[in-house]
Structure 1
Amino acid sequence: MIRSLGIALCAALVVFWQAPAAADDAAASSVAGLPARYLLMDANGRAVSNEDFPGRLQLISFGYTFCPDVCPTTLAEMAAVLNALGPDAERLQAIFITVDPERDTAGILRSYVSFFDPRIVGLSGSPALVRRAADHFGVRYEQVREPGAAADQYAVDHSVGMFLLGSDGRYLRRFAYAMPAVEIVERIREIMSASPQRLPLPAR
């Protein structure tokens, strides 16, 4: 898995630093009226919600660890955003929510996100809680299985892109898939500059 992730990571670096900017305004407007809430579990079995990171923005993506291309690209982009922010990265919490809770165990999810950046938090939960979180972000996903395939042999078609929540845990905007990381960083810095005060960070 690590070797394949490494290949995907190299390809991803080319895509999101050199790709032209994507038009994400339409996608953002389609999510703006949704609650953008979640209540899930981290890799240590602790309950985590969108209200648990006061003073920090949240950059969130949905995917799964068996994803062959889109998810590795998105997580590599998340890591690049964190690195580009430098010290300001402490004001941003990156989060990856699995849409495949049946296969993405706590251990698998922890190893997967840590490969890209240990600061990324992987979240999962019961199928019902994951579905509820996805619905709150307007994310759609479904299992796709070839005829005759084993029960645990399937892909998951899912919505792409990343969501940004404010320091109060409320939805701010959506970044389209393959939007260059440099542009995402610019947008995040603009928001941080508008709210320069650093609130106490929670101990986690």
Structure 2
Amino acid sequence: MKMLRIIAIWLVCWGVWTGWAVRQAQSAEVDAPMSARYLLMDANGRAVTQEDFPRQFQLIAFGYTYCPDICPTTLAEMARVLARLEADGDRLQALFITVDPERDSAAVLRKYTEFFHPRIMGLTGSTALVRRAADNFRVRYEKVREPGAPADRYAVDHSAGMFLLGPDGFYLRKFAYGTPPDDIADAIRELMARFPRGRR
């Protein structure tokens, strides 16, 4: 009986430690430093990089306009974050980077993002530049096409979530997909307090 009790205690401790280790690994993956650099194009054909928004935070999501669920949900949440920030909203630039540059032209992206909020900016670019940006953010994506489907009929599996850059253009953190928009806004506001207006 004593041996069974020892084994039971050991199993409980092992379970607690394993759960802690998994949470630590997930946290490290979410908040691990990354380069978070990009060189893309906005709806007006202007080149845009992470350094083009001085004194503003950047909230960035990757996706595509044909996305049936994750992307529209993410952009709706972005819009809610901007609304919750109220007067501080002008200190945040929301960006949607396509992972489907073949179909998502600048004009298509503008129409799509403005449906959710006029201050969400869509960015596209060449296949190589989009891939480089995604790699810098550790975003994975790939085309998925049903057998026999036309070349332009495909979905794109991609990483979800939103990334936050500071006023200096450097990576701060990632918000996992499903994080409540109010929590995201509150976290951004706390970070804004560390960067007074006018400070970069």
TM-score for the superposition, normalised by structure 1: 0.83
Aligned position for 2:52? 52
Asked if 1:152 is matched to 2:152, the reply is yes
What is the CA-CA distance between 1:197 and the residue it aligns to? 2.5
Give the count of matched residue pairs. Answer: 178
In structure 2, what is the Cα distance between the partners aligned to 1:80 and 1:171?
Answer: 22
2:52 maps to a residue whose letter is D
Larger radius of gyration: 2
Which one-letter code corresponds to 2:67 in the other structure?
Answer: C
Q: Is the 8 A contact 1:27 1:174 kept in 2?
A: no
SS in 2 for 1:62: strand
CA-to-aligned-CA distance 1:143-174 (integer Å, 9 cap, x gap): 00000000000000000000000000000000
The CA distance in 1 between the partners of 2:101 and 2:24, in whole Å, is 28
Look up the SS of the partner of 1:109 in the other structure: helix
User: Which residue number in structure 2 is paired with residue 191 of structure 1?
Assistant: 191
User: 1:105 offset after TM fit, Å?
Assistant: 1.0
1:3-58 residue CA offsets vs partner (Å, 9 max, x unmatched): xxxxxxxxxxxxxxxxxxxx898256456332010000001000000000010000
- How far is 1:196 from its partner? 1.9
Q: Which gives a bigger RCO, structure 1 or 2 (Cα 8 Å, sep 6+)?
A: 1
The residue identity in structure 1 corresponding to 2:100 is: D
Q: Say whether the 8 Å CA contact 1:40–1:123 is kept in structure 2.
A: yes
Matches within 5 A, 1:115-194: 115-194=115-194
Query: Does the aligned pair in 2 maintain the 1:39–1:47 contact within 8 Å?
Result: yes
CA RMSD, Structure 1 to Structure 2 (Å): 1.7
> Aligned partners of 1:93, 1:199: CA distance in 2, in Å?
16
Counterpart of 1:20? none
Inter-partner Cα distance in structure 1 for 2:27 and 2:127: 25
TM-score if structure 2 supplies the norm length?
0.85
Gaps of 5+ in 2: 1-22
CA spacing shift, 1:91–1:31, aligned 2, 3 Å: same
Paired residues for 1:83-122 under 5 Å: 83-122=83-122
